[in-house]
Structure 1
Amino acid sequence: MHIDILTLFPEMFKGVFETSILNKAKEKEKFSYQLVNFRDYTENKHNRVDDYPYGGGAGMVLSPQPIFDAVEAIKKEKQTKPRIILMCPQGETYNQKKAEELAKEEHLLFICGHYEGYDERIREHLATDEISIGDYVLTGGELGAMVVVDSVVRLLPDVLGNKESAPMDSFSTGLLEHPHYTRPADFRGMKVPEVLMSGDHAKIEAWRKTESLRRTYERRKDLLEAIDLDEEDRNILANIKNQQES
């Protein structure tokens, strides 16, 4: 996978992209990236990328010219048709399903906005996707793009050390993940559940499924409404409800 990021502040990405899993993935050549300052594509003598909005109003609006030209230059250089992702508050709310969808692409291109917003022609004629990472407003799209890139790259083949890590993550199964424990078995009187040290893999898996359902029921009931539970899961969930109501 190759990722291009159009931004006015490319220096913001260095710390994130050159540490931890993203850096390891880059070193293993699982993905490559390019940071493009679209100010370099301006045609006016002051290198302005924004202007006052037609009709008046507060703030400045990003002009279409430098962003269109930057995208066209990248497409010409790479000879590809990238998935062009506009980071903006009006976009669809990002989730794990979207991450899994984007992880199948060969070329992603992110546009990070600033100021009051984008000229609408960027949204209508350039972007293939509009993504928001939540119902709040940031000073720019850079932080959102970092979140999306991190969640996508970790899903690429052989990026994570354990192949089972990503499929078992919260939201990957539609449920929140079960609790985890490690050594020591007894820490200040707080003990690890005995079933996890039993060596009985069937019982361990049953415990994990139950706790995953319990945690989802307690914290994110909305997730349960969005997935199809089998009969076993429905029975487990009914027992959890009865325990909490009794």
Structure 2
Amino acid sequence: MKTSVILSTYNQPEWLTKTLWGYANQQRRPDEIIIADDGSTDATELAIDHARGETGLNIHHVWHEDVGFRKTIILNRAIEAATGDYLIFSDGDCIPRRDFIAVHAAHAAAGSFLSSGAVRLSLEGSKAITQADVAMGRCFTRDWAARHGGVRSVQRLKLLGPGLLPTLLDRLTTTLPSWNGNNASCWKSDAVEVGGFDERMQYGGEDREFGERLVNLGLTPIQLRYRAVAVHLDHSRGYVEPDMAERNRVIRATTVAMRRTRTAHGLKAAA
């Protein structure tokens, strides 16, 4: 199975650099990383070039002009560019634990998609993470998260480490598995069949709507909340406008009510 990681980013070269440290230290490296860039300045391209040379990762940069929040459009361009048969989606501000790719790959199965999330760090903790913290796994421990990351005790349960207990917690959690754009995966063929992301949608539920179409297609979401671990670096969201979420809510409601499996506003052809 060939894996393609798709990372969305927008003008966060420092955070993207830290994220790519995580992929450089994977037990199982992704076959490729597609950076879905929603119009960043040249600083992001420079950071990608540096990371590519420093880590040897197979990184492709997919970019379009910045004319507002168009994440869904650039994600579709990244899906089209991906050559892997299995797609792992995350963000350029989420550092994966060293078993992240291996866990997604181990649980990939026909007729399903995988759902997880991220442990949100404080801004101080986000700034404090060093390359050594990532390489040695320190920033994925409960002790580090408590002392440096500002992470509450209940959230630190996601940092138990591999073992039977995280598997049990995934079975017992009352949180329903859904498509979370910072940590989810599916077969590329399924992403193409539902038409990718709805390009009318902006910030607020655009990822969930994609997952709802996957469910309507007949896929079963599998919970990896405590097993596929990433830490989320803090940042502002100045690109968000109040009416974005309301427009998205209407589209999502229609998708659910009509049980739509494919959007007419996504991928134009088989990718």
TM-score normalised by structure 1 residue count: 0.28
The structure, 1 or 2, with the larger RCO (C-alpha pairs under 8 Å, 6+ apart) is 2
TM-score normalised by structure 2 residue count: 0.26
